Amino acid sequence: MSFLSLSSRSFSTDEKPVVVLWGCELNDTIRKCIVEVDDDLLEHLVYLKTVSLGEDADDKPHVVAVESKNMASSLKPVPLVSLRHSVLPMTCLDGFEFIPPVTFILKSGTGPVYLHGEHLILEDVSDYEPTEEDVPPDEGEDDTEQGNPEEEEAQEANEEEVEMETANDETETANAEMEAEEATKQR
């Protein structure tokens, strides 16, 4: 099996969707191409984008069939494209989506037939529960952590201390004003 997979970067499970380009050649010696995935609990989709005949292909019909998990219960290959050099040497199949494992089979012809597509890897978010970091605070709330009794008590004590200092400052200001008034009356 001649299977080519290209990725422009490495990925981890923390990342969002990843697209990996893939391609394979079917010919008289390699009649099947299987696109498989690891059992990694991620959602995988295989898109077939183009099917084309190679320059050396005979001018006879080349039929490519597919077997996929998402077809009816029988795993009988279903013809997908029929190409002939003089009539239709290439076809674009935008929108053909399969759930791996997918097997592409050259049912007739000697090839070479080239298949190109994308392998999309999605993170499974079905059991996702947001954390405190994911939920933005409501407007008007500060960013302090809520629910910690020790921090709440310290914050309340700090607020009371600020209020008492403010009251003391106001009392001292009022006393100073009264003393100034008495001093002016005595003169």
pTM of the entire predicted model: 0.57
Residue 6 has which token pair?
């290209």
Q: What is the pLDDT of residue 71?
A: 54
| β pairing state of 90-98 and 102-108 | unpaired
Q: What is the pLDDT of residue 80?
A: 92
Q: What is the pLDDT of residue 8?
A: 40
CA distance 53 to 115: 9
Cβ-based neighbour number of residue 117 at 10 Å: 23
Rounded average pLDDT per 10-residue block, the chain, 187 residues = 43 64 93 84 86 92 86 74 92 84 92 90 64 61 58 75 71 73 70
CA distance 185 to 183: 5
Contact 120, 18 (CB under 8 A): yes
